[in-house]
Amino acid sequence: MIIMRFSLTSGKRMFLFSFLILLSSLTSFAQTQNEFWPEINGFINLNDQFRAYLVAAYAQGKESEIETLDMAAYIDVSIKPVFRPKYFQADWQRSRFLWARIGFDHVFKSESGSTITHENRGIISIYGKAHLPADIWLENRARADLRWIGDVYSTRYRYRLEATREFSVFKNPAVPYLNCEFFNDTRYSGLSRLLVMAGAEYTVSKYFRFEVYLAPQFDYQPERADLLVFGVVAKLYL
Q: pLDDT tens across 157-167, in order?
A: 999 999 999 99
Residue 64 region, left (φ>0) first, then alpha (ψ -120 to 50), else beta?
left
What is the DSSP pairing of strand 50-63 with strand 66-80? antiparallel
Ordered DSSP codes for 134-165: GGEEEEEEEEEEEEEETTEEEEEEEEEEEEE-
Decide if pLDDT at 19 tops 60.
no
Decide if pLDDT at 31 tops 90.
no
Please state the pTM of the whole predicted model.
Answer: 0.82
**pLDDT tens-digit readout, 165-188:** 999 999 899 999 999 999 999 999
pLDDT of residue 189: 83
Residue 26 region, left (φ>0) first, then alpha (ψ -120 to 50), else beta?
alpha
Decide if pLDDT at 21 tops 70.
no
Mean pLDDT, all residues of the chain: 85
pLDDT of residue 163: 96
> What's the one-letter identity of residue 170?
F
Given a contact cutoff of 8 angstroms between Cβ atoms, the answer to whether 110 and 116 are in contact is yes
Across 50-54, 74-78, 114-118, 141-145, least confident range:
114-118
pLDDT of residue 201: 97
Given a contact cutoff of 8 angstroms between Cβ atoms, the answer to whether 216 and 226 are in contact is yes
Burial pattern 71-107, b for ≥16 Cβ within 10 A else e, equals ebebebebeeeebeeeeeeebbbbbbbbbebebebeb
Residues 6+ apart with CB under 8 A from 65: 111
Decide if pLDDT at 218 tops 70.
yes
- CA triplet 37, 118, 66: central angle to 5 degrees? 40
DSSP letter, residue 30: T
**pLDDT tens-digit readout, 103-126:** 999 999 887 767 777 899 999 999
CB atoms closer than 10 angstroms to residue 60: 16
Confidence band of 5 (pLDDT split at 50, 70, 90): very low
**pLDDT tens-digit readout, 56-94:** 999 876 665 678 899 999 999 988 655 555 544 457 888
Q: Which residues pair with 76 in a beta bridge?
A: 51, 101
Q: What structural domains and CATH numbers belong to the chain?
A: 2-237 (2.40.128)
pLDDT of residue 115: 72
